[in-house]
């Protein structure tokens, strides 16, 4: 084991760049995917049957296919279409498709949106009927009931399941290393491995960084659950 190479300034800077890309990709994917998921969750609970089936088919496909295949379909498929490449120098939004980061972000955001939408939609269905009836008795409109009663409660109840999704997305960002010109944390480890032929040191160091981020995320979500779900826990006598 030759750990001294890993802790040289050049290698540490490489890992730092990869970590920054990983965190940017994770946060952007969660932000975009979260906004999409709220709209999809509303559609999954819509009274319109055709809309529920359409969005249900989307989440079924997203959850039923590997994320790596989705990344390939967007970067090597959609982004390589002649129709898009003919317009990606001047016409928005096709200009974004020549950026590897955008292709990876689009794949991750669409993927997490499919999973998160099902989480939120299920939490919305678990809203106690008494809360809805009480809100209606106070004169709230259906829209006010949705945004003041159902949605806030659903977002709080979905925290435990969503924490797992966030951790899984963190680990899934390692697939960005399959996109050329993307230097995420896993790609940084692969570069160190190819330059110095130190597979154990390179990937173990990356794994330690992923583990540190994971423990941080789990701690933050546990704090959030104690803060926002305390009323659902067992009451002390």
Q: What is the CATH number of domain 3-230?
A: 1.10.3720.10
Summarised one tens digit per residue, pLDDT across range 132-175 is: 999 999 899 989 999 999 999 999 999 999 999 999 999 999 99
Q: Kindly report whether the global pTM for this prediction surpasses the value 0.85.
A: yes
Residue 146, both tokens: 């949705």
**Per-residue DSSP letters for 88-104?**
TTTSTTGGGGG-HHHHH
How far lies 49's CA from each of 46, 126, 127, 145, in Å?
7, 20, 21, 21
Closest-CA residue to 18 (of 197, 214, 217, 182): 182
pLDDT range class, residue 237, cuts 50, 70, 90: very low
Rounded to whole angstroms, the Cα distance separating 210 from 124 reads: 32
User: Which residues are CB-contacts of 200 (< 8 A; sequence separation ≥ 6)?
Assistant: 1
């Amino acid at each position: 084991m030759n750990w001294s190479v890993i802790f040289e300034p050049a290698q540490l800077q490489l890992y730092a760049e990869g970590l920054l890309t990983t965190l940017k990709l994770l946060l952007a994917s969660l932000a975009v995917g979260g906004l999409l998921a709220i709209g999809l969750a509303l559609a999954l609970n819509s009274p319109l049957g055709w809309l529920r089936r359409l969005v249900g088919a989307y989440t079924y496909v997203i959850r039923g296919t590997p994320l790596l295949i989705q990344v390939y379909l967007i970067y090597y498929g959609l982004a390589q279409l002649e129709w898009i490449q003919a317009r990606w120098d001047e016409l928005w939004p096709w200009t974004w498709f020549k950026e590897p980061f955008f292709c990876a972000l689009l794949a991750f955001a669409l993927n997490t949106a499919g999973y998160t939408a099902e989480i939120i939609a299920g939490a919305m269905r678990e809203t106690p009927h008494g809360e809805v009836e009480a809100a209606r008795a106070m004169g709230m409109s259906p829209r006010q009931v949705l945004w003041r009663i159902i949605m806030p409660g659903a977002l709080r109840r979905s925290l435990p399941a969503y924490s797992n999704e966030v951790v899984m997305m963190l680990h899934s960002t390692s697939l960005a290393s399959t996109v050329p010109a993307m230097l995420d944390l896993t790609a940084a480890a692969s570069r160190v491995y190819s330059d110095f032929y130190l597979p154990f040191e390179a990937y173990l160091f990356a794994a330690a960084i992923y583990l540190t981020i994971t423990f941080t995320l789990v701690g933050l979500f546990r704090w959030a659950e104690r803060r926002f779900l305390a009323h659902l826990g067992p009451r002390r006598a």
